[in-house]
Amino acid sequence: GAGVSQTPSNKVTEKGKYVELRCDPISGHTALYWYRQSLGQGPEFLIYFQGTGAADDSGLPNDRFFAVRPEGSVSTLKIQRTERGDSAVYLCASSIFPGHSEQYFGPGTRLTVT
């Protein structure tokens, strides 16, 4: 079956612009996660959804970052007033249910802020 997909694969934007990154989880997966991976680092947790609600958003760095999952499937990560420090690979993962099951990762979106 289809895995986790993310669009776009690459995004280049100018400092100060608004961007949206999309994640399509595996069908039927109730839990969805966003991570950010800066160059040379491991992924860092941003936010986790169980169904439509954000169960843990403690990793969002500031109020410029926001994520939604209105129908409990597709999720969008939104970044306002982008800064050069936001440049990173944004990874999305999903799992059947939280806790015991594996998190399946997408290929990520590479965001470059110029």
> Using the rule CB under 8 A, is 19 a contact of another protein?
no
Token pair for residue 53? 């609600």
Rg of the chain taking only CA atoms, in angstroms: 13
Q: Give the phi and the psi of residue 84 in degrees, each rounded to 5.
A: -60, -30
Residue 38 vs 80, nearer CB to another protein: 38
Kindly identify the residues of this chain, within the stretch 56-95, that bind another protein according to CB under 8 A: 56, 58-59, 89, 91, 93, 95
Strand arrangement, sheet containing 75-79 = 5-7, 19-24, 75-79, 65-68
Are the C-beta atoms of 31 and 94 separated by less than 8 Å? yes
Closer residue to another protein, CB minimum distance, 16 or 61: 61
33 binds another protein (CB under 8 A): yes
Tell me which of 23, 35, 82, 88 binds another protein, using CB under 8 A. Answer: 35
What span, in angstroms and rounded, lies between the C-alpha atoms of 26 and 78? 21
| Nearest distance from C-beta of residue 66 to another protein, angstroms | 18
Which residues contact another protein (rule: CB under 8 A)? 31, 33, 35, 40-45, 48, 50, 55-56, 58-59, 89, 91, 93, 95, 97-100, 102-103, 105-108, 110
